[in-house]
Structure 1
Amino acid sequence: MPPQKASAALDADTIAAVATPHGRGGIGIIRVSGSSADRICRTVTHTETPAHREVRTATFHDMEGHPIDAGLVVFFEGPRSFTGEDVLELHGHGGAVVIDMVLAATLSAGARQARPGEFSERAFLNGKLDLTQAEAVADLIDGATQAAVRSAMRSLRGEFSERIDVLAESLRELRAYVEAAIDFPEDEVDFLGDGTVLRRLNELQQQLCDVADAARQGTMLTEGVTVVLAGAPNVGKSSLLNRLAGEERAIVTAVPGTTRDVLNADLELDGIPVRLIDTAGLHASNDPVEQEGIRRAEAEIAKSDLLLMIADATQPGSAGLIGVAEAVAGDEGTRILHVRNKIDLTSEPASEPTDPTDPTDATEEVVRISALTGAGIPALRARLTQALGLKSQDEGVFSARRRHLDALTAAAGELKEAIDAFERVGAGELLAEDLRRAHDLLGEITGRVSPDELLGDIFGRFCIGK
């Protein structure tokens, strides 16, 4: 766990917030955390505070002593609580007005309104969670698929943190080894030149790549992926969107240019949340409305994770803006998958499904489908899985975020530079500095090295009651 950090708010403030969703419900919970939780409990309930983890019934009162609600009181004595502080929970009825009245009573008794994510932030600052575990709390709440929820729970249990900690400790040990060799150059054994350092560097780089690959899967689970459908007018983009989404999300007509704006549909692909984006047909046009639609299409292509280039099997290959779209995708590093639609109007056979977990089992460069009949759609789904790099979610994938992947990528870059420089000149001092930077980047993931603005950004995205 990260070392405890000084904070005036932790010493002085007791915070309170509604911990259940707003609106009408059977139960509403007020959570209070801080040194005044015991006193606030006695003030609001007019009874003694329960013992640690004891549940009691009580009546909740406002500051004038008028009864507001009746429910359950639970007290968690710090540090044996989620935040590491004294924590009070008042479980009442879930009406919007009554729960706000109970919250107002706790605020009048000395608490202040908690900021978004402040309970989890205090848990982090008090060493109850590291940063990846705190983020996993939000990921668990926001999980859009069952696979995303399971992966968030793995991170909350510390599986992601453990892999980062193992890497960080290996980097620290290697750095200590290198610095010892620098400090004692008179030793007869050439510690830096005996092959041990280079072997350990290569092992570390492989381990870092393995964790980064798992984090990439976790990032897709947490943040989802965006797939853009592009092509000339009337090639069947909207029909394909409807077919993949399983519902009529886009208007489909025989008139070219029916879609002029961006449409989207959400679906799940092997546990990954996928957002499909249908775009205006790409073609030369003097119509200002169509030009704006094409501009928006190119903007979506630039932001996408995968571009589906749709072609009409009954028409010769399209040119012009299709090449522009592929160029936009190429400039952004977006992967491209070519799809040949309307094979129900030709004699072409539909593509057969491949093994989505085998990246080598994808011999066809173009997927042949019919969005109208559904022919070839299983093959397209398999190719989507391959193109996005999705793997089985039974392999212990943990939830991750873009910042984790960026830090791992940067750390891998530091190790690559370290290996290249060491092979060229064998300078221990430069190697030790590269290892320090890689170690600090890993520390940013778990919060052992975290600037205040990063913490503010992370916890500011939480709901208020967490």
Structure 2
Amino acid sequence: MITENTIAAISTPLGRGGIAVIRVSGKDAIAIAERVFRSSHGGEVRKFPSHTVHHGLVVAPNSQEPLDEVMLTVFRAPNSYTGEDVVEISCHGGVFVSQKVLEAVLEAGARLADPGEFTKRAFLNGKIDLVQAEAVADLIQASTERSHQEAFQQLRGGLSDQINAVRNSLVDMLALMELELDFSQEDVEFLDRQEIEERLRRSIEELDKLIASYQRGRFLREGAKITIVGRPNVGKSSLLNALLGMERAIVDETPGTTRDAIETQLDIKGVLFRVIDTAGLRQAKNRIEKKGIAITEFHIEDADVVLFLLDASEGVTRADEKIWQQVERLSQKRREMFPAKIIIVGNKIDLGNQLTKGSFDPEMGKWPLVLVSAKTLTGIPQLNETIFKAVFDERWERGDAVITNVRHLQALQKARQHLGFALETLKQGLSTEFAVVDIKGALEQLGAIVGQTTPEEVLDRIFEQFCIGK
């Protein structure tokens, strides 16, 4: 699907740098380049072979004023990122010069690209599927080693291959089932019910694995949220600074120093964690403290991991027990499918330790206990390891396909529901005709993930989240 318009945009970040790249894509890309590029060896752009680089000048198409010394790279259709003719002009970095080169290209007949339009064209021209297109955005946004690896795997088709394997199995089965319906009066059986049910079960198992992987994928894409909770002056801000290895929060002996939540980021084993240091939970004395405590309660509800902080030198106090009841209630409130994990952290062991599992409430005792000193950093490596294990199952392997965004999750859940209905239909001895309807529904949802049955407005919403130039 080669589109009529030829588009252009600056593909590199705005600002000073060694080079900036202006990308041009469309049926007139070569002709537009011809109007603005003057080769230093006298060659004509229309005669340049694909995948070659050429030195020369960019000029304003009307005045012929030289604008910059550049390198021009030609990629001819269909062997380009978008599947169209593509020209990339590498000019000197800098806001002004790159903007002047872009203006020259637009003056020569290109249109300014919409956000994500180059990648959308790659999708529409069959160079990549929708999962791979979304992986491009994830790869750009990746901030840790594992989020990069996961996005790169999806870009290479790992998730698409797994979804398409399920789709192909269902399509093969559906074809035989519909053929059997066509010959129903002749009593011809291409697949017995037991085999259909077994194939459906295997497909459901594959979808269940992918659905269960969403939590891991979300952590890799967005980061897991850690909320540090405890009564005032147990060392929440000190613990935050110890985890970060730097002073991020103000530390003071005065209870209530932290009035608002402080958010920062932590990288543990290549995984991003967003750490929230909250106001101490207690009876509010004024309107400001009341707001701070309300914010704390929100972050407990929204957490993936709650670090419930105690003063190990004092043991479990009555105030701690009251706060624990709030933590237990709030941490399980919002996420039925993925409730928060809790880690009990005993701080200030440099002053002594009065904490044992036997001194805990039975419900508190089922969660791991880690003893640390935020002051001397004793136990901090063990706490990092416990945090990591709380959100990453040891059984997960690098290379396993995972779901990283909610659009995929919702489509998989709907597909799984359709297959469950189809299986139940067969178990009840009803006509396979009813099962066929649900199998088609499942195929439509799986097709929406990879972009084969995705409505145009959904595509627009996906690609408008990209940066201009990609």
TM-score for both structures, normalised by structure 1: 0.89
The structure-2 alpha-carbon separation of the partners of 1:237 and 1:430, relative to structure 1 and needing over 3 Å to count, comes to farther
Distance 1:151 1:456 in 2: 24
Cα offset, 1:202, TM superposition: 1.3
The alignment status of 1:341 with 2:340, answered yes or no, reads no
Distance 2:149 2:189 in 1: 48
The structure-2 alpha-carbon separation of the partners of 1:424 and 1:234, relative to structure 1 and needing over 3 Å to count, comes to farther
Residue by residue over 1:371-411, the C-alpha shift from the partner in whole angstroms, topping out at 9 and shown as x without a partner, is: 42333333333332232134556344567322222322332
Q: Is the 8 A contact 1:282 1:322 kept in 2?
A: no
The structure-2 alpha-carbon separation of the partners of 1:183 and 1:216, relative to structure 1 and needing over 3 Å to count, comes to farther
Q: Is the 8 A contact 1:73 1:88 kept in 2?
A: yes
The structure-2 alpha-carbon separation of the partners of 1:180 and 1:309, relative to structure 1 and needing over 3 Å to count, comes to farther
Match of 2:22 in 1: 30
The structure-2 alpha-carbon separation of the partners of 1:159 and 1:320, relative to structure 1 and needing over 3 Å to count, comes to same
Amino acid at match of 1:403: R
Distance 2:170 2:284 in 1: 57
After TM superposition, the structure 1 = structure 2 runs for residues 254-269 of structure 1, keeping only pairs within 5 Å, are: 254-269=253-268
Match of 1:316 in 2: 317
The structure-2 alpha-carbon separation of the partners of 1:412 and 1:348, relative to structure 1 and needing over 3 Å to count, comes to farther
After TM superposition, the structure 1 = structure 2 runs for residues 222-233 of structure 1, keeping only pairs within 5 Å, are: 222-233=221-232
Q: Is the 8 A contact 1:231 1:237 kept in 2?
A: yes
Q: Comparing 414-423 with 11-20, which one deviates more in the overlay?
A: 414-423
Which residue of the other structure, out of 441, 446, 462, is the alignment partner of 2:445? 441
Which residue of the other structure, out of 355, 374, 377, is the alignment partner of 1:374? 377
Structure 1: state its 5+ residue gaps. 5-9, 352-362
Q: Comparing 71-80 with 191-200, which one deviates more in the overlay?
A: 191-200
Cα offset, 1:450, TM superposition: 0.9
Match of 1:385 in 2: 388
Distance 1:349 1:297 in 2: 25
The alignment status of 1:418 with 2:417, answered yes or no, reads no
Distance 1:458 1:31 in 2: 21
The structure-2 alpha-carbon separation of the partners of 1:381 and 1:433, relative to structure 1 and needing over 3 Å to count, comes to farther
Amino acid at match of 1:422: L
Q: Tell me how many residue pairs correspond in the alignment.
A: 447
Amino acid at match of 1:336: K
Match of 1:57 in 2: 55
Q: Is the 8 A contact 2:210 2:403 kept in 1?
A: no
Q: Comparing 268-277 with 177-186, which one deviates more in the overlay?
A: 177-186
Structure 2: state its 5+ residue gaps. 358-364
Identity of aligned residues (%): 37
Cα offset, 1:290, TM superposition: 0.7
Amino acid at match of 1:456: D
Match of 2:151 in 1: 152
Distance 1:71 1:93 in 2: 7
Distance 2:50 2:351 in 1: 72
Give the root-mean-square deviation of aligned CA atoms: 2.4
Secondary structure of the residue aligned to 1:69 is: strand
Cα offset, 1:239, TM superposition: 1.9
Distance 1:31 1:181 in 2: 53
Distance 1:463 1:73 in 2: 23
Secondary structure of the residue aligned to 2:56 is: strand
The structure-2 alpha-carbon separation of the partners of 1:397 and 1:167, relative to structure 1 and needing over 3 Å to count, comes to closer
Match of 1:357 in 2: none
Distance 2:382 2:87 in 1: 54
Secondary structure of the residue aligned to 1:285 is: coil
Distance 1:97 1:393 in 2: 47
Residue by residue over 1:292-335, the C-alpha shift from the partner in whole angstroms, topping out at 9 and shown as x without a partner, is: 01111122223222222223331425244542343222121231
Secondary structure of the residue aligned to 2:19 is: strand
After TM superposition, the structure 1 = structure 2 runs for residues 102-141 of structure 1, keeping only pairs within 5 Å, are: 102-141=101-140
Q: Is the 8 A contact 2:9 2:23 kept in 1?
A: yes
Q: Is the 8 A contact 1:132 1:161 kept in 2?
A: yes
Q: Is the 8 A contact 1:350 1:369 kept in 2?
A: no
Secondary structure of the residue aligned to 1:195 is: helix
The structure-2 alpha-carbon separation of the partners of 1:231 and 1:126, relative to structure 1 and needing over 3 Å to count, comes to same
Q: Comparing 190-199 with 137-146, which one deviates more in the overlay?
A: 190-199
Match of 1:355 in 2: none
After TM superposition, the structure 1 = structure 2 runs for residues 3-42 of structure 1, keeping only pairs within 5 Å, are: 4=1, 11-42=3-34
Amino acid at match of 2:78: P
The alignment status of 1:328 with 2:327, answered yes or no, reads no
The structure-2 alpha-carbon separation of the partners of 1:190 and 1:393, relative to structure 1 and needing over 3 Å to count, comes to closer
Match of 2:362 in 1: none
Q: Is the 8 A contact 2:305 2:343 kept in 1?
A: no
Q: Is the 8 A contact 2:227 2:307 kept in 1?
A: yes
Cα offset, 1:11, TM superposition: 3.1
Q: Comparing 397-406 with 129-138, which one deviates more in the overlay?
A: 397-406
The structure-2 alpha-carbon separation of the partners of 1:187 and 1:389, relative to structure 1 and needing over 3 Å to count, comes to farther
Cα offset, 1:340, TM superposition: 3.3
Secondary structure of the residue aligned to 2:445 is: helix
Q: Comparing 367-376 with 283-292, which one deviates more in the overlay?
A: 367-376
TM-score for both structures, normalised by structure 2: 0.88
Q: Comparing 15-24 with 393-402, which one deviates more in the overlay?
A: 393-402
The structure-2 alpha-carbon separation of the partners of 1:167 and 1:245, relative to structure 1 and needing over 3 Å to count, comes to same
Q: Is the 8 A contact 1:116 1:465 kept in 2?
A: yes
Secondary structure of the residue aligned to 1:420 is: helix
After TM superposition, the structure 1 = structure 2 runs for residues 234-313 of structure 1, keeping only pairs within 5 Å, are: 234-313=233-312
Distance 1:185 1:270 in 2: 58
